[in-house]
Amino acid sequence: MGAPIDVLKRIPLFAELDDNELERVASVFKERHFSEGETVIQQGSGAAAFFVIDSGEATVLVDGKEQRVLQPGDHFGEMALIDAGARTATVLASSELSCSGVTFWDFRPLVEENGVIGWKLLQTLIEIYRSERRQ
Amino acid sequence: MPLIEALDPALYGSKAAGLGQALKDGLPVPPGVALTGSVVDAVASRDEQVMRQVMESVRPLGGPLAVRSSAVDEDSAEASFAGQHLTLLNVRSADELASALSEIWWSANSDSAITYRQRVGLFTRPSIGVVVQLLVTPETAGVMFTQNPVTGADERVIEASWGLGEAVVAGRVIPDHYRVDRAGNVLERTAGRKSIAFRSLPEGGTVEEEVAPELVDRLCLEEGQLAELSRLADRCEEVYGRARDIEWAIADGRLYLLQCRAVTTSGP
């Protein structure tokens, strides 16, 4: 079991990882199911995991206002993998929802044991930071 | 690992170790199996070999099953994780058991669980053991304090309702209230209002049912059952010491001990 690699490839944080490295990342994902109406993540709460949607739909809300609908292949919560800080949005399951998720606790040792993956993630983070500053 | 041998809380969690010790001491605990945190983690990762081993180990229990989380580091944190983790009742197939273990793993790795761990100063990876037991389908169930938790009086306080004990534990009914002295004499019987009961469904899971009108206010424990509960309280205090908080159930006329822990609130 793991997240689909073609989905992970589309996630900006993992953009520099090759297929072998993506496979290692994919291997630490676990399935998680949510019932329709269930809160998947709550804005302001501490963050434990990053999720990719396998099936079903979810709604993103910020300060109670609907922002967009997430569908299979979409992802959310990747910042949780780095600092386990507070969630910046709420995500609600708008149907039966099946996700692949990875926690901070499982992701961190993977990066600690593999400096190449860690360095690539750092480079990507800097790139995202530069790009956001330019905007 | 059979529950009776799962005595190490660092491997199986405190709930499993407590129930294992109770079985070893001859208390009437439903038969079960304890799974370590790493086994639960492997099942949540869909490790097929480990899943097969788990299915083999639970097969002799028959079914349906009660699947309860048993957090490995609850005691060392000196913090109660009650409510952070899960109990799933009436699990009936291999697929349902795998899903239940996955759900329990995620309950220990949810945003709220992680936030709570950080607040109490725990920054290590959570480890969640599991107890898988034969589900008893009780006529009557509830809780018992071996010492009055409100007044501190040296007497047993029993709260009881129809069906699964979740109705009492979750505060969904006004349970019957009994007080029994150490010699087994009943000091008080007060009927509650037990309008609902939780029962197992044949297809798995539980359902909340309305209780027949004539049973709502009728006492659900008889003299002999109160005497038996009083003897269970004696035995639990012999094994664990005074002031215990007990969850119990009576199924097919037999009394079972579901959980026994120290009382966390005490009287004046």
Residue extent(s) of CATH 3.30.1490.20 domains in chain B? 3-134
Nearest alpha-carbon partner for B138 in B166, B113, B100? B166
d(CA B33, CA B2) in angstroms, rounded, equals: 4
In this prediction, residue A121 has a pLDDT band, given cuts at 50, 70 and 90, of confident
B105-110: Cβ within 8 A, 24+ apart: B105/A30, B105/B40, B105/B41, B105/B43, B105/B44, B106/A30, B106/A32, B106/A101, B106/B44, B107/B69, B108/B69, B108/B71, B108/B84, B109/A48, B109/A49, B109/A103, B109/A105, B110/A48, B110/B84
**pLDDT tens track for A84-101:** 778 889 999 999 999 999
Comparing CB atoms, the residue among B106, B112, B126 nearest residue A32 is B106
d(CA A82, CA A85) in angstroms, rounded, equals: 8
Comparing CB atoms, the residue among A31, A33, A101 nearest residue B46 is A31
Alpha-carbon dihedral of residues B68, B90, A48, B70, nearest 10 degrees? 0
- The residue whose two tokens read 């609850």 is B74
Residue extent(s) of CATH 3.30.470.20 domains in chain B? 140-262
**Residue B113: its pLDDT value, please?**
80
**Residue B95: its pLDDT value, please?**
85
Please tell me if residue A103 touches chain B, with a CB cutoff of 8 Å: yes
Please tell me if residue A31 touches chain B, with a CB cutoff of 8 Å: yes
Which residue in B103, B115, B120 has the most chain A C-beta atoms within 10 A of its own C-beta, making it the best mutation to test that interface?
B115
Comparing CB atoms, the residue among A1, A47, A106 nearest residue B111 is A47
Test A104 with B114 for CB contact under 8 angstroms.
Answer: yes
Test B109 with A46 for CB contact under 8 angstroms.
Answer: no
**Residue B266: its pLDDT value, please?**
45
ipTM over 0.90 threshold: no
Residue B162 in this model has a pLDDT that exceeds 70: yes
Which tokens sit at B130? 């599991």
Nearest alpha-carbon partner for A105 in A22, A43, A21, A46? A46
Which tokens sit at B101? 């273990």
d(CA A49, CA A29) in angstroms, rounded, equals: 10
Tell me: cis bond preceding A4? Omega within 30 of 0 counts.
Answer: no
Asked if A109 and A81 touch (Cβ cutoff 8 Å), the reply is: no
Please tell me if residue B46 touches chain A, with a CB cutoff of 8 Å: yes
**Percent of the residues in chain B that have a pLDDT greater than 70, as a whole number:** 93
Q: Which whole-number Å values give the CA distances from B136 to B13, B61, B139, B202, in the listed order?
A: 22, 12, 9, 13
A87-116 core/surface letters (b: 16 or more CB in 10 A; e: else): bebbbbbbeebebbbbbbbbbeebbeeeee
Residue B51, SS3 per DSSP: helix
Which chain A residue's Cα is nearest to B116?
A46
For chain A, domains (ranges, CATH) are 5-130 (2.60.120.10)
Which tokens sit at B37? 């945190």
d(CA B14, CA B85) in angstroms, rounded, equals: 13
d(CA A51, CA A40) in angstroms, rounded, equals: 9
**pLDDT tens track for B122-135:** 767 788 899 999 88
Q: Enter the CATH code of domain B140-262.
A: 3.30.470.20
Please tell me if residue A85 touches chain B, with a CB cutoff of 8 Å: no
Alpha carbon of B114: minimum distance to chain A alpha carbons (Å): 6
Comparing CB atoms, the residue among A28, A87, A106 nearest residue B111 is A87
Tell which A residues from 50 to 79 touch B, by Cβ distance under 8 Å: none
Q: Which whole-number Å values give the CA distances from B106 to B25, B103, B110, B114, in the listed order?
A: 33, 5, 6, 11
Average pLDDT of span B150-165: 92
B154-173 core/surface letters (b: 16 or more CB in 10 A; e: else): ebbbbbbbbbbbbbbbeebb
Name chain B contacts of A26, Cβ cutoff 8 Å.
Answer: none
Test A105 with B109 for CB contact under 8 angstroms.
Answer: yes
How many helices (H) and strands (E) chain B has is answered by: 9, 12
DSSP state string for B121-163: T--SPP-EEEEEEEPP--SEEEEEESS-TTT--SEEEEEEEES
Q: Enter the CATH code of domain B3-134.
A: 3.30.1490.20
Average pLDDT of span B49-67: 90
Test B103 with A33 for CB contact under 8 angstroms.
Answer: yes
Residue B55 in this model has a pLDDT that exceeds 70: yes
| Residue A103 host element (H or E) | strand A97-103
Q: Which residue has the higher pLDDT, A3 or A112?
A: A112
Asked if B244 and B233 touch (Cβ cutoff 8 Å), the reply is: yes
Name chain A contacts of B37, Cβ cutoff 8 Å.
Answer: none
Residue B89 in this model has a pLDDT that exceeds 90: no
**pLDDT tens track for A32-88:** 999 999 999 988 888 888 898 999 999 999 999 999 999 988 888 877 777 777 888
Comparing CB atoms, the residue among A31, A47, A104 nearest residue B102 is A31
Please tell me if residue B122 touches chain A, with a CB cutoff of 8 Å: no
Please tell me if residue A45 touches chain B, with a CB cutoff of 8 Å: yes
Name chain A contacts of B111, Cβ cutoff 8 Å.
Answer: 41-42, 45-49, 87
Q: Which whole-number Å values give the CA distances from B176 to A31, A84, B18, B234, in the listed order?
A: 42, 46, 27, 21
d(CA A2, CA B254) in angstroms, rounded, equals: 45
In this prediction, residue B76 has a pLDDT band, given cuts at 50, 70 and 90, of very low
Q: What predicted TM-score, i.e. pTM, was given to this entire model?
A: 0.80
Name chain B contacts of A33, Cβ cutoff 8 Å.
Answer: 99, 102-103
Please tell me if residue A22 touches chain B, with a CB cutoff of 8 Å: no
**Residue B77: its pLDDT value, please?**
42
